[in-house]
A and B are shown apart, each in its own frame.
Chain A
């Protein structure tokens, strides 16, 4: 133990004094990927990325009220665009860092049956993210409507405040199934999942913006650039997202 502590202190000393820090607002679905990227970012640049997670809507509301975030990784395009239009983000820097995939997940194996599981009589509670605040919730509604199941399942829907809470509803078994992001369950071996066919919902294009508060912060600019690097894109893909070729 003492040796580990010593090694840790040694690493601290080894860091250059100019290593900076940046605060990043991250949509809840990107939690694990962002954590992995922050680690890679630190290894590459020595800068620290401090991550705050929440539903895109909640983060957006905070940013419009002057929350001290440098970078905003939303789960949609609409909110970053609004932030940009409000003059809170560096104009022209917005780009799509990830394209999300919607999955149906259950603690038991039933979700693998896909739309048949949604039609089955045993379904009592279906968790989705609040569609007004989280794009994955919107995609879940799209899917149910495309399958002509929305009206019959409306009474069984429970909403999580974010996609993270939505997953937790199903993970604790309080909901039978949940529409979540592939990234949340990609590393799990338990439960069952069904990749929702892409023609059932609008593509979940997730945009990033460099906020004005981060413009003068070297670490923030570095993180924003790093997000487009091959290293970062490799991590993003590993968590079940697609990435767009850099413009």
Chain B
């Protein structure tokens, strides 16, 4: 195995994982954020708090639950048995499930805030112009919330790239399947391959810097706080 493929493989896999996770999260989070942003009730606060749990929980808690849930004794194992597998752990699908849960608050929150900041007025105005709620949502609410979506996509992607504990616990370190960048760095450090570790780590640091810079530039350009 060459050093280059040892580095490049995890990079590509990480981008695939983060990209797919972000796409799924944008689809799931939009209706959820819309619902959460409208007229607050106790119920919504409870759901919102549950969705925000990964912000506070150590990744090991999530990793442990996922390992049990994805395994043969949990629902994940039941799903996996549909195609003859015993578990969803150690699979790319398992990582996507884990990442979606883990990164969800980072996507829901900015969209929710953007919807909430918009207030009721634009939707009411659209209604008086006889736009259907569905049409008003797409032509009024979504464009108004665009900075929130952008922030959500960037944060969701970046946070998935930065995931480590969960992947370490449910991944099984399989090259090309579950060996993402953060795990590859851990591996390189453990096996005294520090040149490779340095390369990847520096790349991650640069990536994080670019993400944070992009975030503040978006906030500035859009003229309102993004989160």
Contacts and interface: CB of A to CB of B under 8 A. Distances in A.
A80 interface: no
Contacts of B71: 172-174
**Shortest beta-carbon contacts, A-B, top 8:** A158-B172, A57-B190, A159-B173, A132-B191, A133-B190, A173-B72, A174-B89, A174-B87
Interface of A: 55, 57-58, 60-61, 64, 124-125, 127, 130, 132-133, 157-161, 165, 168-169, 172-176
B90 A61 contact: no
Given A130-B187, A174-B71, A158 B86 contact: no
A68 to B, nearest CB: 18
Given A132-B191, A174-B67, A161 B186 contact: yes
B174 interface: yes
Given A127-B172, A161-B168, A174-B90, A55 B190 contact: yes
Nearest to A159: B173
Nearest to B77: A173
Contacts of B85: 124
Contacts of A160: 172-173
A175 B89 CA distance: 9
11 contacts: A58-B190, A125-B87, A125-B172, A130-B173, A133-B191, A158-B172, A169-B89, A172-B67, A173-B77, A174-B70, A174-B87
A52 B194 CA distance: 23
B159 to A, nearest CB: 22
A168 B70 CA distance: 14
Nearest to B88: A174
Nearest to B84: A124
Interface string B48-71: 000000000000000000011011
A107 B87 CA distance: 14
| Max chain B Cβ within 10 angstroms of own Cβ: one of A58, A173, A175 | A173
Contacts of A55: 190
